[in-house]
Copies of this chain bind each other. A is one copy, B any other.
Amino acid sequence: MTQRQAALEGRITSAMKHAARREGLDPEVIRQGLARGAVVIPANKGHKGLKPVAIGEGVRVKINANIGTSPHDVSLDKEKAKLAAALQYGADAVMDLSTGGDLDDIRTTLLAQCPAPFGTVPIYQVMTQARSLEEVKGDWFLDMVEHHARQGVDFVTVHCGVTRKAVPLLKNRVTGVVSRGGSFTVAWMRRHGKENPLYEHYDRLLDIARKYDVTLSLGDGLRPGCLADATDKAQLHELKILGDLTKRAWAQGVQVMVEGPGHLPLHAIKKNVRLQQKYCHNAPFYVLGPLVTDVASGYDHIAGAIGGALAATLGAAFLCYVTPAEHLKLPEVEDVIDGVVASRIAAHAADIARGLPGAGDWDLKMSKARRALDWDTQIKLSINPVKARRYREISRAIEDQCTMCGRFCAMKVFDEKFEAE
């Protein structure tokens, strides 16, 4: 039985209880969210050691960190270090997007070390194993999802909405298809003259998802890869299909999230969130960024934090981090940390803005520590205490001052301690 099926039957599972405790909520609230489809708890029955997390309406905005090898950069040790860093710095979920090395070994090793919900993109493994487009059979798309599900993966990105009808809509795009899974699916459909197997055989996909309680993350394979392509026909065509597929999944007791862009100008974020809510019936919205400019290479975590904070304030439930390496190279551990921290800032800012109860407590504690010039507490409460401590130490600071203001510290002057020194 899936979390959704249990919720629909009025049963509160241990996963619901655990997820509710982390939010300080009554498990019944989580159950109702699951039953409505507005909340998911990605929790594969085979993921040992999982600490379940709720994603969706009424809970803290969650963030995902993508890790994984590439054909040019294969090191299990490095991926383990990225996983550890992502978890240490506060990622709520992790996706292994490996495309280089022994993918099964990498995946099962990382999954075993990951108490957070663990996601994958099964089609990447199809791509890495295929020597040509021709040899890829339609069944492979689904078999690979089951393969991952059997290994205990909690959620999978499946590009079910990339259909043959959408292909002509891509004609005038500036950047075409920027999703690897999306582009592979389009190329496969063209070459084989067939429909996307994940769309055509969606009921079989639902059977797999239900069997393992794998949450489907309906991928936006046609997401805009630049501001100029944002909210275009191809994107909206896919989004509408994802809405239909959401309802079909719900009817089969399967948990669903819907993925979103990508690159969006800031003023288009509201429209995009509203359209997703409308077309996809308030299924949790999982956004990649969105990036509010195309030119921030090296700093896309910042462009993504701007878009993510706004999207989440407007209702997006789940932010996929973006690292400074985006558009340039595979992220290193330092990039993972920068990406996680930037996304957490965005998610936390949104929690406060949405009025989530208790969200501002952290800020209040920090502000009281600032007023008291209590540096130890300030550092402990910093979003990245390691960096805050390093900065404070570089600062060659004197007790209750920092090198920014020294004796002109506003806090001290306000207390009329101006001439004390």
A111-151 toward B: CB 8 Å interface, digit per residue (1/0)?
Answer: 00000000000001001101111000000000000000000
- How far apart are the CA atoms of A364 and B405 in the complex, in Å? 42
CB within 8 Å for A295 and B328 given contacts A349-B266, A408-B124: no
Residues A329 and B392 in contact, CB atoms below 8 Å apart: yes
Q: In the docked arrangement, what's the CA distance between A303 and B341, Å?
A: 11
A45 within 8 A of B: no
Which of these, B99, B133, B187, B297, contacts A406 with CB under 8 Å?
B99
User: Which of A227, A267, A296, A384 has most chain B Cβ within 10 Å?
Assistant: A296
User: CA A327 – CA B180 in complex, angstroms?
Assistant: 41
How many angstroms from the CA of A414 to the CA of B173 in the assembled complex?
A: 12
Number of interface residues of A (CB under 8 A): 111
**Scoring A residues 178 to 189 as 1 if CB is less than 8 Å from chain B, else 0, what string do you get?**
111011101100
Mask, A391-421, CB within 8 Å of B = 1, is 1101111100111111111110111101100
Stretch binding the partner chain, chosen from A52-60, A280-288, A366-374: A366-374
> Given A350-B266, A413-B187, A416-B190: A404 and B330 within 8 A (CB)?
yes
Whose C-beta in chain B lies nearest to the C-beta of A182? B410
Q: Once the chains bind, are B298 and A410 in contact (CB under 8 Å)? A: no
A299–B341 touching, CB < 8 Å? yes
Within 8 Å of chain B (Cβ to Cβ): is A383?
yes
Query: Does the CB pair A382–B297 fall under 8 Å?
Result: yes
Q: How far is the CA of A411 from the CA of B329 in the complex (A)?
A: 15
In the complex where A226-B367, A298-B388, A363-B294 touch, is A327 in contact with B378 (Cβ < 8 A)? yes
Q: Is the CB–CB distance between B367 and A174 below 8 Å?
A: yes
List residues of chain B with CB within 8 A of the CB of A330. 395, 402-404
Return the chain B residue nearest A294 by Cβ: B363
Stretch at the interface among A31-39, A199-207, A236-244, A306-314: A306-314
| Contact indicator A70/B406 (Cβ below 8 Å) | yes
| Bound form: Cα–Cα A381–B355 in Å | 39
Cα distance, A332 to B394, chains bound together (Å): 10
Give the chain B neighbours of A305 by CB distance below 8 A. Answer: 302, 305-306
13 new A-B contacts at CB < 8 Å, known A226-B363, A292-B345, A299-B383:
A71-B407, A178-B410, A180-B409, A180-B413, A182-B410, A187-B414, A226-B370, A227-B360, A227-B363, A228-B364, A266-B349, A292-B349, A297-B379
Query: Which A residues are closer than 8 A to B by beta carbons?
Result: 70-73, 99-100, 124, 127-128, 130-133, 174-180, 182-184, 186-187, 190-191, 225-229, 265-267, 292-299, 301-303, 305-306, 309-310, 313, 324-330, 332, 341-342, 345-346, 348-350, 352-355, 360, 362-364, 366-368, 370-371, 378-379, 381-384, 387-388, 391-392, 394-398, 401-411, 413-416, 418-419
The contact sample of 16 A-B pairs, CB cut-off 8 A, is: A99-B405, A130-B419, A183-B411, A190-B416, A228-B360, A267-B313, A292-B309, A293-B348, A294-B362, A294-B367, A298-B388, A302-B341, A327-B404, A329-B395, A329-B397, A329-B403
